[in-house]
Structure 1
């Protein structure tokens, strides 16, 4: 079940985000700094909408939808809505939760009458990146590396 984030969800979101990224510990040059930033995921609710996935009353995933014109990193066009921090608890993977969360972001972009939606990701994310490509996202340019890991910007046309 998907629903909008509530402030009471902050700790569960942090836990899921940290668990979701744990497999990448060897990839980032400064893991403590990276996890400090991952743990700030609930703060994205200040500039966007966090969507929460629940299974049996447990939060098992989340994503932030940052709408058109909302503040976002400079490597994105300011007019684009952006998908940020898609996370799924490792114990809940393989159930389509990531796809459901991404599809909800697409619905919100359409609600906002955006012609495209964007995200940035990295080839080390061997489940997420192929899912985005299957959903119609295409790589448009490099994004700045994050602690030694290369990233790129992907965009999907809507409508």
Structure 2
């Protein structure tokens, strides 16, 4: 098993992370409309994410391949959907299906929490997750996140997103 590194994304890696994100969400059945799902363009447009938020990637130590990525948005960012004053928001955490089970998702989430702790005035990390993302829910619980039903919301009538929070 190869090692991996978590670091900020470079512009040359935007397309690769966009494709990893699409593969991850498709394989997990999270894009209800398949490639035509209205959320698919958001997953692909990593340049837009990186313009107003921090995008981190997990990179294979041997091959340099993108194994996964995540977006961390602070309050005021156009990428923040839930984050209020003093909060950071984890969004679009995705791991390539072939790299799942290696701790990539956990390492990306931990890196977000650590980065949020270094941002002055940040007191909480929030995120939302589809109900079906039970593996992710277990990961968040291991990191200390708690369900926050007051953050639940519907981006589409048939999709309920559950809110989670971690006080720093």
Structure-1-length-normalised TM-score: 0.89
Q: Which residue of 2 aligns with 1:120?
A: 128
Matched, 1:10 2:8: no
> Hey, what's the Cα distance between the residues in 2 that align with 1:149 and 1:76?
20
Out of 131, 142, 163, the position equivalent to 1:153 is 163
Number of residues paired by the alignment? Answer: 158
TM-fit CA distance, 1:85: 0.5
TM-fit CA distance, 1:45: 0.5
Out of 29, 32, 37, the position equivalent to 1:28 is 32
Greater relative CO (CA pairs within 8 A, separation 6+): 1
TM-fit CA distance, 1:26: 7.2
The answer to whether the Cα contact below 8 Å between 1:66 and 1:72 also exists between their aligned partners in 2 is yes
Gaps of 5+ in 1: none
Q: Secondary structure at the match of 1:109?
A: helix
The answer to whether the Cα contact below 8 Å between 2:80 and 2:89 also exists between their aligned partners in 1 is no
Runs of 4+ residues deviating >6 angstroms: none
Any residues of structure 2 matched to 1:4-153 within 5 Å, and which? 4-25=8-29, 28=32, 32=36, 33-55=38-60, 56=62, 57-113=64-120, 114-140=122-148, 141=150, 142-146=152-156, 148-153=158-163
Q: Secondary structure at the match of 1:127?
A: helix
> Hey, what's the Cα distance between the residues in 1 that align with 2:31 and 2:58?
27
Name the CA shift for 1:68/1:74 in 2 (closer, same or farther; >3 Å). closer
The answer to whether the Cα contact below 8 Å between 1:66 and 1:83 also exists between their aligned partners in 2 is yes
RMSD: 2.0
Q: Secondary structure at the match of 2:134?
A: coil
The answer to whether the Cα contact below 8 Å between 1:117 and 1:155 also exists between their aligned partners in 2 is yes
TM-fit CA distance, 1:11: 1.1
Structure-2-length-normalised TM-score: 0.84
TM-fit CA distance, 1:27: 6.2
